[in-house]
Amino acid sequence: MPERVELSVVIPAYNEQQRIGQSLDRLRAYCDREHPQYEVLVVDDGSSDRTAELVAERCAGWPALELLRMERNRGKGAATRRGVLRTRGEWVLCSDADLSTPIEYLAPLLAAGEQNEVVIGSRAVAGAQITRRQPVYRVLMGRVFNWVVRALTAPGLQDTQCGFKLFRRDAARAIFSRTAIDGFAFDVEALFIAHRLGYRIAEVPVAWHNDERSKVRLIRDPARMFLDVIAVRWHHRDLG
């Protein structure tokens, strides 16, 4: 590992044996070329398949790769928190395991980071490209969810749930050391905390490709996410 780490990439992974290998290969090729002072932290969230084993195999020949293992499945928020708080990079990128937003879109996020501490990839602002859309029922649920989020916690942001977000190191530590939500609504909580701490947040258009193997369960997860969003303001009432 280099003494100075420019970029840390955090990937939460749960039962990703079908996708994680290809994603890591793409990520390594890009970072070796564009950001040689980097580290990649894959946080296995208690997978029941061979996700952890596949990552461990790559660690042997890839010093920049580290595998963190959760003892049990706790949720994407818990896995992301653990990874972020372990990072050493000046910039921290959180990315989905399937690279639904291609890693090449890190470049415009870093450019926006010159003036902002938090930069989020967005599928809802001008210039965004959706190469494969979600089913209609998921689109409708997403729109309702985003309306609730904007009304309660993240005014002005169009897309809080795209899994491609960049943080300056100090902001990442300050934000994720305060997060408490373990599930999919952790993005909303992180952005709410960022706003309340006074960090500048930019929303940058990205490309996004829907993968039908989403880990979001149709009934339980959206209901839990709505409850978590409502609870965010109460959990962090000390932030004003």
Buried residues in 87-114 as b, exposed as e (16+ CB within 10 A): bebebbbbbbbbbbbbbebbebbbebbe
pLDDT score at 161 = 87
Q: In sequence order, what DSSP letters do the residues of the chain get, joined into one string?
A: --SS-SEEEEEEESS-TTTHHHHHHHHHHHHHHH-SSEEEEEEE-S-SSSHHHHHHHHHTT-TTEEEEE-SS---HHHHHHHHHHH---SEEEEE-TT-SS-GGGHHHHHHHTTT-SEEEEESSSTT-EEEEPPPHHHHHHHHHHHHHHHHHT-TT-S-S--SEEEEEHHHHHHHHTT----STTHHHHHHHHHHHTT--EEEEE-EEE--TT----TTHHHHHHHHHHHHHHHHTGGG-
pLDDT score at 117 = 98
Report whether pLDDT(137) > 60. no
pLDDT, one tens digit per residue, over 35-93 is 999 999 999 999 999 999 999 999 999 999 999 999 999 999 999 999 999 999 999 99
User: What is the arithmetic mean of pLDDT over 126-138?
Assistant: 73
Cα pseudo-dihedral 122, 10, 49, 57, rounded to 10: 130
What is the rounded end-to-end Cα distance, in angstroms, of the chain? 40
Cβ(195)–Cβ(201) below 8 Å: yes
Domain ranges of the chain: 7-239
pLDDT score at 156 = 84
Categorize the per-residue pLDDT at 216 as very low, low, confident or very high, splitting at 50, 70 and 90.
low
pLDDT score at 223 = 73
Average pLDDT, the chain: 89
Cβ(96)–Cβ(72) below 8 Å: no
Q: What is the reported pTM?
A: 0.88
Kindly report the CATH number that applies to the domain delimited by 7-239: 3.90.550.10
User: What is the arithmetic mean of pLDDT over 9-18?
Assistant: 97
pLDDT cut 70: percent of the chain above it: 85
pLDDT score at 238 = 76
**Contacts (Cβ under 8 Å, ≥6 apart) of 178:** 193, 236
Alpha-carbon distance of 215 to 36, in angstroms, equals: 31
Buried residues in 125-135 as b, exposed as e (16+ CB within 10 A): eeebeeeeebe
pLDDT score at 29 = 98
Alpha-carbon distance of 172 to 90, in angstroms, equals: 10
User: What is the arithmetic mean of pLDDT over 148-172?
Assistant: 86
